[in-house]
Structure 1
Amino acid sequence: MNATEERLADALRTVGETIGPEDVPPPRFAGRRRAAFRRPVLLTAAVAASAAIVAGGAVAGGALSSGHETGRKTGSLTVPAGDVQVEVNLCTRTSSNASCNGNEVTGAQRAALKTLLEKNRRVREVAYLTKQQHYQWFKARMEKAGAQTPPSGLPKGIPEAFVVTVPRADAKGVMQACLGYPGVDTVVVLGR
């Protein structure tokens, strides 16, 4: 092995030691594959990615962190100091996640997920957002962070969601509990 290969092997070994089995979510095998993304899927992905970037950037830049014991406010939901929010987006017909299989979340799946979240000892608060409420919450976060707000009107493909308030240290565990759960499309930890 030459010097470059040895350095690469050492780097890979170091990275491998930092990742444990608990860091990798269980696999979700594709039931059926789609030929191409549709526009609503791209819009939903763009909205979710923008929300994560804006919230993360705003926290890093100090726009959302208050530093007071009274907490901070994100959108219309209060987040106590030291806590973060986990946004659990539910399946829509346009979801690209194979576990959604092109189906909207059912009432039974929504109720089961709500029960799972409420019984989780790490969860401080669970808020359910309809599609319209989720869009308004997203717009409020964008405005608060000083970003350009999306156009008015409910875009196609915006999902229903649960916004869960958890201690920062427990966000990863709550995220992993939701990933792959029936009716869940994506899970985003806001304000890391």
Structure 2
Amino acid sequence: MNEPEERLTDALKDVGETVRSGDVPPPPFPDRPPTTTPFSRPLVMGAMIAAFVVVMGGVVAGGYLAVDRTFGDRNAAASSERTVSVFLCTKSSSAQKCRGGDATEQQKQEIKRRLQAMRQARRVDYESKKQAYERLKTALADDKELLESVRAGDVPDSFRVQVADTEDARAVKAAIDGVPGVDAVIIDHRRPRA
């Protein structure tokens, strides 16, 4: 230790022996700002609640569209007729087999030919994208927010195949699922539309 260090050490020892803990005031630290979380900010919390409501509304609306809506309709429940919906590829299809494009006219004609040749098919109807979008607009007339989120190009064209029963519906689905231009095949448990 050098001379200045020795003098400082001696001085601090002397001060340390004369100063008591009560003689020294607490340091004047500023008050800590309150920690903020997303839940302590009303605007952020409101936005989170609004986002939750929108997401849940979409889940409920999607469930409404996907659920069998024949509850209480004894004729529909008693009927064994089924409709098989064959949805064609669109540019917005997420299925890898669609390769991000619409079904071609040649693919549509081949799908129609195959469906009409099936012995299980009682009736085969084609619904264009435009017709499907118009039908969706009618079905969602009361839900403007959901309707505004769907564009005309998002709704695929499709074939509706009426069959006698669930067994025939499964046979049609098995035969047509995987055909080029087909995005999805759904067996609708409601009565076929007239």
Q: Calculate the TM-score normalised by the size of structure 1.
A: 0.56
2:161 alignment partner in structure 1: 164
1:155 alignment partner in structure 2: 152
**Kept in 2: contact 1:132–1:154 (CA 8 A):** no
1:136 alignment partner in structure 2: 134
**Kept in 2: contact 1:85–1:189 (CA 8 A):** yes
2:118 alignment partner in structure 1: 120
2:99 alignment partner in structure 1: 101
**Kept in 2: contact 1:55–1:191 (CA 8 A):** no
Structure 1 residues 174 and 155, CA gap change in structure 2 (3 angstroms): same
| Count of residues in Structure 1 that have an aligned counterpart in Structure 2 | 128
1:88 alignment partner in structure 2: 86
RMSD: 3.0
Q: Which runs of 5+ in 1 are unaligned?
A: 1-45, 73-79
Structure 1 residues 191 and 140, CA gap change in structure 2 (3 angstroms): farther
User: 1:155 offset after TM fit, Å?
Assistant: 3.2
**Kept in 2: contact 1:89–1:185 (CA 8 A):** yes
User: 1:168 offset after TM fit, Å?
Assistant: 2.4
**Kept in 1: contact 2:90–2:153 (CA 8 A):** no
User: 1:135 offset after TM fit, Å?
Assistant: 2.0
1:173 alignment partner in structure 2: 171
Task: Map Cα deviations across residues 71-95 of structure 1 (whole Å, 9 max, x no partner).
Answer: 79xxxxxxx9421111111011121
1:184 alignment partner in structure 2: 182
Matches of 2:158 and 2:137, distance apart in 1: 15
Task: Map Cα deviations across residues 129-167 of structure 1 (whole Å, 9 max, x no partner).
Answer: 111111233445567xxx747527843321111111112
Q: Which runs of 5+ in 2 are unaligned?
A: 1-57
Rg bigger for which structure? 2
User: 1:128 offset after TM fit, Å?
Assistant: 0.4
Structure 1 residues 112 and 175, CA gap change in structure 2 (3 angstroms): same
SS at match of 1:99: helix
SS at match of 2:183: strand
1:39 alignment partner in structure 2: none
SS at match of 2:93: coil
Runs of 4+ in structure 1 deviating by more than 6 angstroms, as ranges, are: none
Matches of 1:123 and 1:109, distance apart in 2: 19
Matched, 1:58 2:69: yes
**Kept in 1: contact 2:130–2:152 (CA 8 A):** no
Amino acid at match of 1:151: L
SS at match of 1:110: helix
